[in-house]
Structure formats: structure tokens, C-alpha cells
């Protein structure tokens, strides 16, 4: 069965089947898909089921109908490797995949398109995140039951009431997740003698992940809603590229304790190690030290030991751990064909993996778009036209998928309209007008990089917590702060003409448990709040499909004035116009960009929340929509 492409890449643009340039807008569905639907409480067990994520099948029409009314016709569908293959290598959960197919068929009926996002954060639920199955950890000789005690991971289950909100990002710097990411992406280079079932560990792990995703694609091959796949959410370098193992990678948590990379290795092997206490996202060192693994637990199963010790990175001498190769992960090691050359995580390891995954998926699904991510707010994969060519076929259709968050708001759970920190440089900006400019500049800068390579830019994640200020909105019912924050983000998205999917829509969100994962609460939906919340912050007019080239788009939330400029061609341009901004109707005006009337006709359809602008000649046009006076 051949599936026709709903969208195709054309340089920095995406086009629909009629050749119009589209702007894709929607959400991530959903944050609670990171955890099993049953048994309740998401226990750290392999005996689980994800049937019911993102929502029960009999609720699908209600949820998809709501999303479509909000103008969200493009979704990033969150699944996890664990959901597909939790019972063991090659043992796929066919009940879950059958359920997934049924849900996708309902999306199709609502005119909604999706791409499948194989989601992970800090490797797995056992390492304080989500994603990979338990057996991936056991296969490399790790015993996850000891992670918390040994300080190899920070989990809510292990920490209990002492778990710090938004501390899950620290797991990137703890041993378990850092080791698994390093083995998965770069095991052939840095652990060349480490085999699983006689196969190099990197190949063994990647082969199983790719096979699982290919099986997913096979099971949903007749779902017309599916337009492609993501290529691994928020990939992380682990230890790769660290110049000195006596240091560590970037801190992405508001407070806590951080180990050096070497101390993380030593503590995992049973040595109590000191950790630096910090606040203000690592900018402030607190007095005193915290001892990690005071009881001297080892995280290794019998007959196994640290792969980095086996590689000669460190050893035991005089009853304690001794670092031998502090720069081991900064360059290709001795014995490698490129020994001594400095490594690039994205260029040397992530990109080859992404190419492998694209090649495997596209064998049977030539129409797929592939959404390729780099390290969030860090190194990205750089693509050349020759990278994407495949034998006898059209090039891979790659979309650069980036993430952006207002980090101060996300991690502190406080929104201040007068301050924002640059997500890449951490440089703060003060003043409301300056903050709005900074958001626009940050997003435009991020979008410019893939576009300079002739590739579409897609903002796959951004959002705002709904439990700001200790959950005050739940006590007052006032979500105006979140609405203003989201409006400022969408102002930047409009200015950059970005495709976007907000994080997130969690059907199971509650005031008590948020999205159900690690104290996060970013869902734009909550049944306790009557459905959508801060809707006017994210549901606003935008150009869905343009006959011609988009040039500029803006929306003024104070006056509900929408303005759109494009270099028109003969055809129909489609605008989403949500009724909640225009309860008494809207007025339209189309003019030549230099002034004067334009040869265009407008067909307003309030019941459909659509405006269709038909143009017969080329030329730069400006559309203005305002509320009926």
C-alpha cells in the first residue's frame, strides 16, 4: 500500500499536496505518555502497559475535536521505546500498537496530522526520566535497584518526599544516564571491547531501538495521519566531548548536588564521593559538600564492572579510585582509526545514528518527514545536501527540530514579565519590552541556522508551567499569567514564521500530580479546569497554508488585530481565525503591501473558524483581520 505525502520539504519550506506553503501548529500529545497507563502509580517494573496513552480510545474524538477547534492540526505524538518493547528484546506489545493505530485513525478522521516522537529524557524511568526499557540497563550489567542508594540516578521513587521539583535534569550528570547515552551513541569508539551477546554494545542497543521503531511504522503504515518520525528526543552526549572528567556537563536544575564525571564513575562502583552543592542553576556554590553513596553500594550486577574502568579511564589504587585519563572522551582514543582527533558528539555520533534510523524507516515509508534534533540549547547536527542523498531514491526529507524554553520560568516555576535569560548564553535581559524582543530574537536566531542550510525549522517543544507560584492559579482560577507568557512566546514564533508544537496536552493532568511525570505541570488541558487553560495564550489566528511565500505575521492580543503579509501567487490562502477572539465576527482587509486595493476575494467562514483568501495575480499583499466594531 503506497501512502501519499501530506507534506514535502522544499528548501526551508514545507508544502502541502496542492503546493501551498504551510505553517504547522499544534501540540505534543502528551506528557503523561512518558509513563505507563497501568498499573496505577507507574511502578518501576517491566510488567506494565501503555494502552490508554495518550488517552482512552473512547475519548479520542473529544480530545481531537478540541485540538482541532484550537487550530492545532499537527501533533507530535509521544511514544516511548519502553511502551513498545518493555517485556524484552524483540517482544513487542502488540496490544499497545493496535491501540495506537486505532487512535491514529481517529486523528485522521479529524483532519489532524502527526509525527511519531520516540521520546526519552535521561534514558529511562529507572534513571530518573523515561524512554528505554529496563532490559537495556540490565544488558550492560547494571542493577537499577541500586541506583538511588549509590547516587547513580535521582528518582522520585527513591527520593520520596525529599525529591526536589525539576531536578530530573541532574540525571544527565549522574552515572547511569551518562553511561547509557555514551554507550548508545559512542560505545564503538569509547568502549570498543564491551560486547553484549557477542555484539559491540553500541550496535546492539541501536539495532534494537531501530528495529522497534521500524515495527511501529509497520503496524501504523495505513494511517494517513502519520507524516513521519522524530529521530530521538533531546539526545544527550553523556560523557562524550568532556574536556576534563574532573568537571561535568551543563547543569539544568535550579538546585541540588553535582558530581564531577569521574566522581560519578567512582561512586557507581561503590566509593563514597563528595558532591558540590549549588543553587541558582549552578551559578551559586553553597557551603559544605554532600556525600554521594555513603554506604558504598555498587550498581553492577555480579560478574560486571564499570566499562570506563575496563577502558582504562580510571582504576583502583591504594584502596581508592584514581583517574588515569581525564580527557578520554574529548578525542578519539588510542586504537581508533581517528585516534587523537577531537570529537563532535553531533557530527561523529548523533548524525550517523540519525542517518541509520532514517535509512531503515524510509525503506518502506519513502514519504516520511524526519524531525532531527540536536542537543537542546547546545550543539546541533549540520546537514549538507549530499548527506541526505540515498541510492536510487529522492533525498531524505529532514526538518530541523529545535526546542526552546524560558528556563527561568520553567525551572523556578515563577513567571516574571520583566526578565528572561537567553536559553543558549544564559545572559539575562531586563524590562518588559526588552524581554519580548529577546524572545523574538532567540527564536529567530535558532530558526536561522537550519534555514541557512536550506532546511525547514520546527519548534518541537516550548511551554509554561501551570503550577506557577506554588499553584496559585488552582486556588484563584486565574491563568492570566500563563496566558501572557504564552502570548509572548507565540509572538516570537509568529515573527520567525516557525512551525511549532507546544509542550504539552496531557489528558490525565490533575492539580495534584500535574502531568504525572517528575513534578512537571505544563499541560494546556486539565479536566479539573474545565478543559483548556490559558487558551487565549496559544489559540490565535495564523496562516495555515499560503498560496505564495510567507513574509511576516503578527497578532496584537490587546486589540485582536491580526496582520499577515505574503508574496502571493494564484490560489487560495487559508487562515485560522478562532471565534473566541471574534465573538461578534471579524472584518478583513486585503491590500497591496505598498498601499491601495488588491485583486483578492475573502471568504469568511466563522463556523469553521477559517478565512479563505483567493488571489489571481502575483504580488506582495497584506491581510488585516480585526473584530467587528
Q: Which of 558, 567, 539 is CA-nearest to residue 623?
A: 567
Distance of CA 336 to the CA centre of its chain: 33
Phi, psi of 209, deg, nearest 5: -65, -50
Q: Residue 95: exposed, middle, or buried by beta-carbon count in 10 A (0-12, 13-18, 19+)?
A: exposed
Instruction: Name the grid cell of 41.
Output: 502509580
Q: Which of 288, 308, 379 is CA-nearest to residue 140?
A: 308
Question: How many CB atoms sit inside 10 A of residue 124's CB?
Answer: 26
CA distance 82 to 213: 11
Q: Tell me how far CA of residue 607 lies from CA of 198, 318, 611, in angstroms.
A: 62, 78, 10
Q: Which of 73, 256, 490, 534 is CA-nearest to residue 522?
A: 534
CA distance 99 to 57: 7
The residues, any chain, with a CB within 8 Å of residue 1's CB and separated by 6 or more, are 221, 222
DSSP state of 471: H
- What is Dmax (Cα atoms) for the chain? 86
Q: CA triplet 73, 79, 83: central angle to 5 degrees?
A: 150
Q: Classify residue 445 as left (phi > 0), alpha (psi -120 to 50) or beta.
A: alpha
Could you list the beta-strand ranges (E) of 486-616. 499-505, 525-526, 531-532, 542-546, 548-556, 561-568, 571-576, 586-592, 600-605, 610-615
As annotated, the active-site residues are 234, 461
Buried-state track 500-518, b at ≥16 Cβ within 10 A, e below 16: bbbbbbbbbbbeeebbbbb
The residues, any chain, with a CB within 8 Å of residue 496's CB and separated by 6 or more, are 440, 443, 444, 447, 457
HSE at residue 270, side-chain half, CA atoms within 13 A, is 13
DSSP state of 349: I
Amino acid at each position: 500500500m503506497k501512502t501519499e505525502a501530506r507534506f514535502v520539504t522544499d528548501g526551508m519550506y514545507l508544502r502541502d499536496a496542492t503546493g501551498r506553503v504551510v505553517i504547522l501548529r499544534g501540540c505534543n500529545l502528551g506528557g503523561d505518555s512518558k509513563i505507563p497507563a497501568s498499573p496505577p502509580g507507574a511502578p518501576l517494573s517491566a510488567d506494565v502497559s501503555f494502552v490508554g496513552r495518550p488517552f482512552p480510545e473512547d475519548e479520542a474524538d473529544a480530545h481531537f475535536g478540541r485540538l482541532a477547534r484550537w487550530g492545532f492540526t499537527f501533533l507530535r505524538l509521544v511514544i516511548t521505546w519502553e511502551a513498545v518493547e518493555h517485556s524484552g528484546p524483540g517482544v513487542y506489545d502488540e496490544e499497545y500498537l493496535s491501540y495506537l493505530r486505532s487512535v491514529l485513525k481517529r486523528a485522521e478522521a479529524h483532519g489532524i496530522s502527526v509525527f511519531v516522537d520516540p521520546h526519552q529524557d535521561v534514558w529511562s524511568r529507572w534513571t530518573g526520566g523515561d524512554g528505554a526499557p529496563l532490559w537495556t540497563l540490565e544488558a550492560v550489567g547494571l542493577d537499577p535497584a541500586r541506583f538511588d542508594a549509590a547516587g547513580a540516578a535521582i528518582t522520585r521513587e527513591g527520593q520520596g518526599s525529599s525529591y526536589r521539583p525539576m531536578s530530573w535534569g541532574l540525571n544527565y550528570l549522574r552515572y547511569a544516564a551518562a553511561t547509557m547515552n555514551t554507550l548508545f551513541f559512542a560505545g564503538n569508539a569509547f568502549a570498543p571491547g564491551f560486547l553484549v551477546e557477542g555484539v559491540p554494545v553500541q550496535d546492539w542497543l541501536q539495532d534494537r531501538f531501530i528495529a522497534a521503531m521500524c515495527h511501529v511504522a509497520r503496524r501504523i503504515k495505513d494511517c494517513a495521519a502519520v507524516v513521519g518520525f522524530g529521530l530521538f528526543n533531546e539526545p544527550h552526549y553523556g560523557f562524550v566531548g568532556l574536556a576534563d572528567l574532573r568537571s561535568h556537563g551543563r547543569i539544568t536544575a535550579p538546585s541540588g548536588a553535582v558530581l564531577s564525571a569521574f566522581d560519578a564513575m567512582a561512586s557507581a562502583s561503590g566509593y563514597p564521593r563528595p558532591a558540590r552543592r549549588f543553587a541558582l542553576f549552578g551559578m551559586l556554590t553553597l557551603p559544605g559538600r554532600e556525600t554521594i553513596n555513603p554506604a558504598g553500594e555498587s550498581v553492577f550486577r555480579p560478574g560486571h564492572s564499570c566499562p570506563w574502568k575496563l577502558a582504562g579511564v580510571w582504576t583502583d589504587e591504594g584502596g581508592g579510585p584514581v583517574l588515569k585519563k581525564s580527557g578520554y572522551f574529548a578525542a578519539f582514543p588510542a586504537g581508533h582509526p581517528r585516534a587523537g582527533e577531537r570529537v563532535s558528539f553531533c557530527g561523529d555520533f548523533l548524525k550517523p545514528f540519525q542517518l541509520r534510523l532514517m535509512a531503515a524507516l524510509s525503506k518502506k515509508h519513502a514519504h516520511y518527514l524526519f524531525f532531527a534534533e540536536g542537543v537542546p540549547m547546545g550543539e546541533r547536527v549540520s546537514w549538507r545536501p549530499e548527506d541526505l542523498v540515498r541510492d536510487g531514491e529522492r533525498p531524505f526529507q529532514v526538518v530541523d527540530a529545535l526546542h526552546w524554553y524560558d528556563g527561568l520560568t520553567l525551572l523556578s516555576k515563577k513567571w516574571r514579565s520583566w526578565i528572561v535569560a537567553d536559553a543558549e548564553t544564559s545572559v539575562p535581559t531586563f524590562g518588559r519590552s526588552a524581554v519580548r524582543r529577546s524572545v523574538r530574537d532567540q527564536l529567530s536566531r535558532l530558526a536561522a541556522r537550519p534555514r541557512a542550510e536550506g532546511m525547514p525549522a520546527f519548534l518541537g517543544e516550548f511551554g509554561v508551567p501551570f503550577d506557577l507560584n506554588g499553584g496559585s492559579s488552582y486556588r484563584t482560577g486565574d491563568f492570566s499569567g500563563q496566558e501572557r507568557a504564552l502570548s509572548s512566546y507565540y509572538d516570537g514564533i509568529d515573527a520567525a514564521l516557525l512551525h511549532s508544537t507546544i509542550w504539552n496536552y496531557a489528558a490525565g493532568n490533575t492539580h495534584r500530580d500535574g502531568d504525572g511525570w517528575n513534578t512537571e505541570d505544563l499541560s494546556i488541558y486539565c479536566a479539573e479546569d474545565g478543559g483548556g487553560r490559558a487558551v487565549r495564550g496559544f489559540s490565535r489566528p495564523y496562516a495555515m497554508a499560503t498560496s505564495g511565500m510567507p513574509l511576516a505575521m503578527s497578532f496584537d492580543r490587546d486589540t485582536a488585530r491580526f496582520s499577515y503579509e505574503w508574496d502571493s501567487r494564484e490560489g487560495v490562502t487559508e487562515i485560522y481565525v478562532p471565534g473566541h477572539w471574534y465573538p461578534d465576527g471579524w472584518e478583513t482587509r486585503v491590500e497591496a503591501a505598498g498601499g491601495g486595493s488588491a485583486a483578492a476575494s475573502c471568504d469568511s467562514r466563522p463556523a469553521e473558524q477559517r478565512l479563505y483568501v483567493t488571489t489571481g495575480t502575483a504580488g506582495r499583499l497584506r491581510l488585516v483581520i480585526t473584530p467587528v466594531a
